[in-house]
Structure formats: C-alpha cells, structure tokens
Chains A and B, each alone.
Chain A
Amino acid sequence: MTDKIIETQKLAKSFGDQWALYGVDLTVNKGLTTGLVGPNGAGKTTLFSLLCGFLKPTKGTIKILGHDPDHPELRGRISILPQDAILLKAIPVGKQLSMLAELQGFNKKQALAESKRVLALVNLSSSANKNADQLSHGMLKRIAIAQAFIGSPELILLDEPTAGLDPSTTDGIKAVIRSLAGKTSIIISSHNLEVIEDLCQQVIILKKGRLHSHEKIADMTARTMALTFRLESDPDTNISEIFAGLDMVTEVKLGKKGQHRLVVCFKEEAGQLAEIEILKCLAVAKVPYREMIRGERLQETVADRLD
C-alpha cells in the first residue's frame, strides 16, 4: 500500500498556446492536510481541476491513490468541493445531496440519512426542503461543502472552502475540516492564507504555472523561533540595532513598505526569555506595536517568496 495519495509527473496543461501549468512534479502523502496557494494566474485552479479530473492534462501524468483521476476505483474514495459549480435549481438541496449519496453507493434510506448528517455538519438541516434558488450564496456554498463530506472519502479536495462565508460560518467549516484531519487527506486551495495556516500541515506554492515550493508550514514560518510584530508604521531600516545587545537574536526581518511588519528570529534554546527581552528592547526604543504573534505568518512568508 502506497503512502502517496497524489503523485504528478511533468504535469502540464495548456489553453491554446498559453501554458497554465508546466512541468509540475508533485507528491502528497496520506493523512495530511495540504494547502495549495499562489497568486492569480499561478495555475492553482488548473492544478486543482486536473487533480479532480475536470480537465485533461496536455502532458504528464497524475496518480490519485495510485490510479488515474477517472479510474473507477476512485469512485466514492475522493470527494470534491468545486469552486464554481452550481447546484440544480429545481430540486430541494436535501434531495440533491441524497441523489449524490445514492450515486456513491448508498441505498435510498441510507442516502437520505447521509444527506441529513452532512446538512447538520454545515448547520443547514432546516434548509433541506428548500430549492437552490431560495438559498443565499453562503448557504449554497455550505451545501456544496456538505456534498464533499458525504460518505467516508479518503481524499477531500476543497477549492476555496471559505470564500464568501461570514466569519462565524468560516469557523464552523474550519472546525469540521479540523475534525477530519488525520482521518482523511485534505487538499485546500485558497487565497485565504490564514485558513491554510490554521488548517494545513504543509503547503504547495505555485508561481506562473510552475511548482515554486512544497514544504511544511512549520518550516516556512519558524513558529517557535520568531516573534512577528505589526507596528504602527513601517520600521526604520536600522531597527535591528535595538537588538544589538541580545546574543539570542539571530535575524531581524522587515516587511515590505506598507506592511508595518517586523520579524525577530531568535535561538531556540533562548525560549520565553528571548520573547521578554525582545519586548523590552522595543519598549526601551519606544517602538509601539498593534499586534504580536509567535512565529512568522504564512501570509507574509508566502508573499516574500513570491516576490
């Protein structure tokens, strides 16, 4: 039994003479929650659609759980939240989920129970008998998410799962995804890097249709060995001098203009003492800050890498 849930080799997709994706070699192991990120036009949606089998590759190969994306062995073992797919308008959403469950191998009675279960997961049990055109955009998104949770898929692919959702609903969806972590492999494609950072263990970064990097988020953000500050204004370029007396400080990084960001990295063995000393240095130098977090934020790290 392979541990690889997704494997692509020299994967490429062109639209006309434009390469949306080129030469992507990628391996994702089982049991992880993985983020797929990149700026607009990076090939994120194309890669996602290729993995789901919506698009056919121009070159290269894809293996999902050891099979081609349209292999019958995969039916019911993977589930997908497509970003822009529209539910049928004339049928109640509960019935639609039940129909999809039937296609997944449930009998009618089981399918009905399954549709009720996944509707409850997204807190929409009361909307089961409503048609799609009676629901708001956010509710439809939650129904689409619910269909991805039908059955016990081994791999769940979620394209922008929190786009268009209010903060409270986003938290609910994040909680459901978090509850599945470890039991199933999840790929999340999103522009919201806070969601990726919150839910994922690793991230795939695409840039201009090519694989830029694929690594653990913990490695990228040095979670335990840095403090990130959002200052009132952009820090002076010589701000690192205020930490000159601290041997434990290994690096001082400044954000881009307008980001008001300061990252102070320190030796792992210094622990909490380093945090206190760094805060003291800022207070002495009268550098006010609005927010402080341990480690680096994925959002800035990714932005820096893509520059």
Chain B
Amino acid sequence: MNSLRLGVVSTLTRQDLYYSLKSARGLLFLVFFGVFWFWVLWKLSSGNAQHLASPEAGMIMSYIIDPKVASTLFVNHSPTFSAFYYLAISTVPMFVLFAASDQTANDIGSKYLRFLTPRCNRLEIFIGRFFGAVILVAVSYVIITLLAALIAMSVDKDSFAMVVRDAPLVALSLILYTIPFVALMSLCSVIVGSAGLSALMGISIYVILLVLITVVHLKMPDAADMLAYALPNSTKSLFLQLSWGNTISAALAVPFYVLAYGFFGWKIFSKRDI
C-alpha cells in the first residue's frame, strides 16, 4: 500500500535539492549548464543576434526552422531574447536528460533507498525525487532566462517593454517544456543502478526514437507523426510560437507525458527489488 503524505514528499524534495547542490552529479550539471550559458550569453551580449531580424537572415533561418516561427520569433520579439529562447528550447534535451538522470538510479545502485523505505514509502520517494529534479531544472532555467532578459534589454534597442512582457512567458515555456523530459528520466532512472547509465539510457531512447521517426517518415508520414508523440519534445513547435495561447495548448499536453512516463516508471519502481 502506498499512501501519499505531502509533508514527507515536501521533505524528500527539499533533501533532494540540498543533495543536488552538494553532490558531484548536481554540481557537474550546474557547472556544465553555467559554463555553456555564460558563453552563449556573452556571445549574445555583442548584439549580433539583431541581424536575425533582417529579411536575409529570416530566409536563412527558414532552412533551419519553420519560416513562420522564425518570423514570429525574430521579427515580432526581441531578436537577442528570441535567439536565447530558441537555443534554450533546442538544448533542453541535452541538459535535462543529464540533470534529471539521477532521481532514483544512484540510490538503487548504492542501496541508500534501504535507509529511506522504513521511513517513507516508494511512491513518496518516486514523487519527491521527480519534484526535486523539476525544481532544480526550473530554477536553473529561470535564472538563465532572467540573465538573458537583462542582456536583451541592454542590447536590443527599444526592446525593454517587449522583453519584460516576454520574459515570464519564456521562463514558463521553458519550465513546461522541460517537465516531460524530467518525467522520461524518472522512468529511465528506476530501471538502472547509476546516474550515468540512466542518462545514457535516456539519451539512447531519445536518439533511437528520433531516428525511427525519421525513417518511418520516409514511407509513412502519418505513422511518423503519431510516433513523434512518444517523444517528450512533441510540443516544441507550439512553445516556439511564443504566445500565451500556444503555450497553454502545449501545457495541456504536459500532464499526459508526466502521467504516461510516470506510470511506467512507477510500475517498475513499485515492483523492483531495491
């Protein structure tokens, strides 16, 4: 039987966050994340992203992303802030699959869970660790969004009001977009006994599905479109529109991913030997 005591979940989440800031795996993610964004934001602070708002750049960008999305992002919004947003959305898999890889994996391998199970049940541990990973990732993205917003305001002319208006939406979109990835990693981390293997498994699943979808798309585009929903990034195009309406639409899909990945993860975790 697994009842859920919110106080215990909250304590587990707090302890997981504390451990993230103390442990090598948490610090490794933060250093990796920090160095990458320091470099990107430093590049963006030069103001070069403003060129992305020109028609020529828009034409080039349309080879990479949907022309409508390119136009929406770089013409109707601050180009520096939009460049940050596009990069942030695109690199979410890389960072989140890594940051959320150790929800339960290392504790299964080291059998630390054996110290926890007399005090709290497996459901509380599973949910507590998921929330811990979500909060770590969310706080990281909020901080980086704030820094990007400050840089965009100082670099892009007359963009102050636009950036102030967009910043909450960008932060919210990034947080919502990362949650299905964290849920995917909650599934991976209950299967294996180390954070490294869990990250490897998450990346493998993601890449294999991407390749599979691409191959299937050549013969059966409709089937590929359906298959694409198995990936946690299926809402990416909606989030990239950077509008409250599309963000709300995409947000509606987030609980489904959390429940789907979480359901399979919980089924394994509740039955597995620890």
Contact = CB atoms under 8 A, between A and B. Distances in A.
B110 A85 contact: yes
A226 interface: no
In this complex, which of A68, A75, A79, A103 has the most chain B Cβ atoms within 10 angstroms of its Cβ?
A: A103
Interface in A68-123: 68, 70-72, 74-76, 78-80, 82, 84-91, 99-100, 102-104
Given A90-B22, A91-B22, A103-B8, A52 B118 contact: yes
Interface in B119-177: 119-122
A82 B113 CA distance: 10
Contacts of B22: 90-91
Contacts of A86: 110-112
Contact of A103 (B19, B111, B119): B119
A86 B274 CA distance: 13
Contacts of B117: 52-54, 70, 80
Nearest to B119: A103
A202 interface: no
Contact of A71 (B1, B12, B24, B115): B1
Interface string B95-120: 00000000000000011111111111
Interface string B1-44: 11101001001100100110011100000000000000000000
B15 A99 contact: yes
B191 to A, nearest CB: 16
B92 to A, nearest CB: 26
Contact of B118 (A79, A91, A102): A79
A147 B114 CA distance: 11
B111 A72 contact: no
B273 interface: yes
Interface in A31-65: 49, 52-56
A85 B118 contact: no
Contacts of A70: 1-2, 117, 121-122
Interface residues of A, number: 32
Contacts of A79: 118
A82 B115 CA distance: 7
B115 A85 contact: yes
Contacts of A89: 23
In this complex, which of B12, B15, B122, B271 has the most chain A Cβ atoms within 10 angstroms of its Cβ?
A: B15
Given A54-B274, A72-B121, A100 B115 contact: yes
Contacts of B12: 103
Interface in A124-161: 144, 147
A99 B115 CA distance: 11
A90 B24 contact: yes
B273 A56 contact: yes
B260 to A, nearest CB: 24
Contacts of A100: 115-116, 119
A82 B273 CA distance: 14
In this complex, which of A87, A99, A104, A147 has the most chain B Cβ atoms within 10 angstroms of its Cβ?
A: A99
B3 A82 contact: no
A85 B114 contact: yes
B115 A90 contact: no
Contacts of A75: 118-121
What 9 A-B pairs come out closest when comparing CB atoms? A82-B114, A85-B111, A103-B119, A86-B110, A85-B114, A90-B22, A90-B23, A72-B3, A55-B273
Given A72-B5, A75-B119, A82-B114, 14 more contacts: A49-B273, A56-B273, A71-B1, A75-B121, A80-B114, A82-B111, A84-B111, A86-B110, A89-B23, A91-B19, A100-B119, A102-B11, A103-B116, A103-B119
